[in-house]
């Protein structure tokens, strides 16, 4: 466990985390049904458990003390999942959910379709151009090393963006600079915007590629909260010399039956009838989980 993770008594249980992930999905669907434009709902739903585990359990960060130099940093490399991150942060206490609903996507809103560090305190990097998040996170981790700081830098990438050369340049730089304080999480939902991943880019053998670049590789079910917690608890010390990648196997649209594995729901808007269907499907999936 990292030097700056919260004490065990302060951290939610797996069951509590599962409920918060369910709350996050409910709020995602609510926003998707009230916002007049399209929301990147498929990738938001695939990342919901991972972002819950990171913001509610894994990362040492105090929403009331955002300039604390010992805080962990987070970079949302798949910037189109900003809504999911905003809601995860609101549940953690950074700001109110109602503010997201009232202003999302509007001119001068702090809650843009992609995150902006200038507009929203608590966001560490403005992202959206895919393939940039890991290089940014490498720079942050290297800077922390130079200052003798022990915090970690986390970044969440979509598997599709790991087809970018900048990702692998950054992966090589991270190992070359012995950045054991860097943790990359891959939302491995195996879908791109208009196709399934392996139809366009051959990623497999995916874990072997990261291992070949010298990274510590952890593979988990990205919807198994117990497994995610175990991966976080098992992270090497931030003073170690090998960066870690957690490959989280996920399902795009997870929790809503008509969205799962459906390319049409990379982004979209829910009308009243579809919102009702989606909420019913989500409730049924929760009932099945707790049964």
Looking at the structure of the chain, the number of domains it has is: 1
Instruction: State the pLDDT at residue 3.
Output: 43
Is 1 inside any structural domain? no
Is 3 inside any structural domain? no
Phi (first) and psi of residue 62, to 5 degrees: -110, 115
Is 250 inside any structural domain? yes
- Which pLDDT tens digit goes with each residue over 27-70? 999 999 999 899 999 999 999 999 999 999 999 999 999 999 99
Instruction: State the pLDDT at residue 30.
Output: 96
**Integer CA distances (angstroms), 188 to 66, 94, 136, 145, 177, in order:** 30, 27, 20, 29, 26
Is 65 inside any structural domain? yes
3-state SS string for the chain = CCCCCCCHHHCCCHHHHHHHHHHHHHHHHHHHHHCCCCECHHHHHHHHHHHHHHHHHHCCCCCCCCCCCCCCEEEECCHHHHHHHHHHHHHHCCCCHHHHHHHCCCCCCCCCCCCCCCCCCCCCCCCCCCCCHHHHHHHHHHHHHHHCCCCCEEEEEECHHHHCHHHHHHHHHHHHCCCCCEEEEEEECCECCCCEHHHHCCCCCHHHHHHHCCCEEEEEECCCHHHHHHHHHCCCCCCCCCCEEEEEECCCCCCCCCCCCCHHHCCECCCHHHHHHHHHHHHHHHHHHHC
What average pLDDT does this structure show over 64-82? 97
Q: Where does the pLDDT of residue 124 fall: very low under 50, low under 70, confident under 90, or very high at 90 and above?
A: very high
Q: Where does the pLDDT of residue 5 fall: very low under 50, low under 70, confident under 90, or very high at 90 and above?
A: very low
Domain that holds residue 212: 8-290
Q: Which residues of 253-287 are buried (b: 16+ CB within 10 A; e: fewer)?
A: bbbbeebbeeeebbbbebeeebbeebbebbeebbe
- CATH value at residue 117: 3.40.50.970
What average pLDDT does this structure show over 135-157? 98
Judged against a pLDDT cut of 80, whether residue 11 lies above it is answered with: yes
Judged against a pLDDT cut of 60, whether residue 243 lies above it is answered with: yes
What average pLDDT does this structure show over 146-162? 97
Instruction: State the pLDDT at residue 142.
Output: 98
Is 2 inside any structural domain? no
Is 100 inside any structural domain? yes
**Integer CA distances (angstroms), 264 to 37, 98, 259, in order:** 15, 28, 8
């Amino acid at each position: 466990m990292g030097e700056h993770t919260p004490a065990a008594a302060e951290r939610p249980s797996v069951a509590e985390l599962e409920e918060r992930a369910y709350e996050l999905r409910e709020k995602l669907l609510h926003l998707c049904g009230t916002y007049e434009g399209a929301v990147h709902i498929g990738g938001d739903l695939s990342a919901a458990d991972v972002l819950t585990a990171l913001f509610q359990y894994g990362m040492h960060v105090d929403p009331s003390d955002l300039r604390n130099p010992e805080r962990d940093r987070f970079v949302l490399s798949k910037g189109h999942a900003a809504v999911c991150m905003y809601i995860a942060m609101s549940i953690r206490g950074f700001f109110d959910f109602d503010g997201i609903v009232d202003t999302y996507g509007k001119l001068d809103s702090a809650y843009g379709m992609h995150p902006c560090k200038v507009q929203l305190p608590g966001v560490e990097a403005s992202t959206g151009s895919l393939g940039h998040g890991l290089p940014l996170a490498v720079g942050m981790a290297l800077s922390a090393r130079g200052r003798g700081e022990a915090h970690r830098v986390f970044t969440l990438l979509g598997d599709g963006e790991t087809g970018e050369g900048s990702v692998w340049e950054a992966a090589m730089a991270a190992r070359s600079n012995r950045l054991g304080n860097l943790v990359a999480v891959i939302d491995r939902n195996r879908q791109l915007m208009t196709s399934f991943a392996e139809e366009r880019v051959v990623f497999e053998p995916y874990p072997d590629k990261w291992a070949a670049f010298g990274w510590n590789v952890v593979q988990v079910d990205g919807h198994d909260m117990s497994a995610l917690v175990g991966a976080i608890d098992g992270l090497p010390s931030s003073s170690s010399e090998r960066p870690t990648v957690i490959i989280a196997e996920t399902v795009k649209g997870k929790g809503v039956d008509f969205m799962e594995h459906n390319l049409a729901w990379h982004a979209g808007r829910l009308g009243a009838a579809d919102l009702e269907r989606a909420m019913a499907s989500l409730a049924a999936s929760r009932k099945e989980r707790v049964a």
